């Protein structure tokens, strides 16, 4: 649990970027479908 909490701060920006990329990917799929 403590490890996950520590990693949260280290990966917060990366996770946010991945979420944005995922959202863009889903949006692209919606356009194609």
Q: How confident is the model at residue 20, as a pLDDT?
A: 93
DSSP 1: -
Q: Which residues constitute the domain of residue 31?
A: 1-33
pTM above 0.85, yes or no: no
pLDDT of 14 > 90? The answer is: no
Q: What is the mean pLDDT of the chain?
A: 83
Which pLDDT value is given to residue 13?
A: 81
The structural domain count of the chain equals: 1
- From CA 14, how far away is CA 21, in angstroms rounded? 11
Task: Determine the Cα–Cα distance for residues 28 and 7; give it in Å rounded to an integer.
Answer: 30
11 or 26, which is more confident: 26
């Amino acid at each position: 649990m403590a490890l996950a909490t520590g990693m949260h701060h280290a990966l917060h920006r990366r996770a946010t970027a991945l979420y944005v990329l995922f959202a863009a990917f889903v949006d692209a799929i919606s356009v194609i479908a």
